[in-house]
Amino acid sequence: MMPKPLLAAALALLPLAAQAQTAALPTDPAADWSVPTSEHRVAVEGGKVWVRVNGMIGTGATPVILIHGGPGGTHVNFGSLLSLADQRPVILYDQLDSGMSDHPEDPANWRPERFVAELEAIRVALGVARWHVIGHSWGSALALEYAARYPEHTASAVLSGTYISTPHWITGTNLLIRELPDDVEATIRACEGPSPPAAEVCEPATAAFYAAYNGRPDRPAPSPEMRAYRARYGGKGFNARLYNAMWGPTEFRASGSLATYDATHLLTQVDGKRILFVIGQYDEARLDDVQDFVALTPGAELAVVPGGSHAFISERPEVAEAILRDWMSRIDERESAGR
């Protein structure tokens, strides 16, 4: 999953919010995706989060913010989507305790409602009236919660690599385990049992699950630009402690605070015509489950990335970009027409 209100404390911090540093602009804001137009430290409940913007807020089409997975992941896998900045401002950020943001390492901050309030703090700090929110994996849950809580500020929400319910996710990943070779399935089941075998037995089986559904072996190698970007903007990287505390040890076992999380009820509270689900053909987010989510969201759309797993943004970047570009352009046209 690589992946409620208690907002008063976070919102009280908003007047402090943004301390911006403007970088040297490339001629084309999408030409060198390692160079942001501006960087910010935004005050949120628990600390400050790092935010980067490509493009100028207030110019171009409606801005978009990309919400990374985890919990505990970082923004870096969205690097290829900075090409969207030729049409609209693109906002990336690291959630608190991840990447370039502050790391207070306080479990009291590890609550979905605080992460949603974090998004709203960024919007206010940047002066964005309305934006597209694109969440991947755990970020999908935040995008859905945000769209339900702040419809007036949400042009659209994309639920990518869709995680919005732990019970659905765990049921789905256990069905996916059954599709692995018999010996791999048997090993995973043993490793999940009360007397698991040694790590050297379990780790290859877990890796086989990930190779099938979360980063397939034929995915492109990281480009030189991506490697340079990780070195420059990786910060403290992925936060395993946060991931384990909120989720658990593997993608198919939830033992943390999100073990009972379920936001499917919010699907009836959002404008379905402004919701897009996107998954990979071989995604951990199973097609059957996501089709059920679509059915609960009248007017919503579904896109499936051919050949992609849960990591389809890096595996099929051109396809992922085209889907998102088309979706946001159509929503913008609809808004311009007052529909």
Residues with catalytic function: 137, 283, 310
Best CA proximity match to 68, nearest among 47, 36, 110, 96: 96
Dist. CA 237–CA 249, nearest whole Å: 18
- Which residues, in sequence order, are CB contacts of 232 under 8 Å at separation 6+? 34
DSSP string, 102-142: -----GGG--HHHHHHHHHHHHHHHT-SSEEEEEETHHHHH
Dihedral sign for Cα atoms in the order 332, 36, 96, 127: negative
The Cα diameter of the chain in Å comes to 61
Three-class DSSP labels, 219-232: CCCCCHHHHHHHHH
Give, as one character, the DSSP assignment of residue 210: H
Dist. CA 160–CA 31, nearest whole Å: 25
Give the bridge partners for 156, in sequence order.
132
Tokens found for residue 224 = 């030189």
Whether the CB-CB separation of 280 and 216 falls below 8 Å is answered with: no
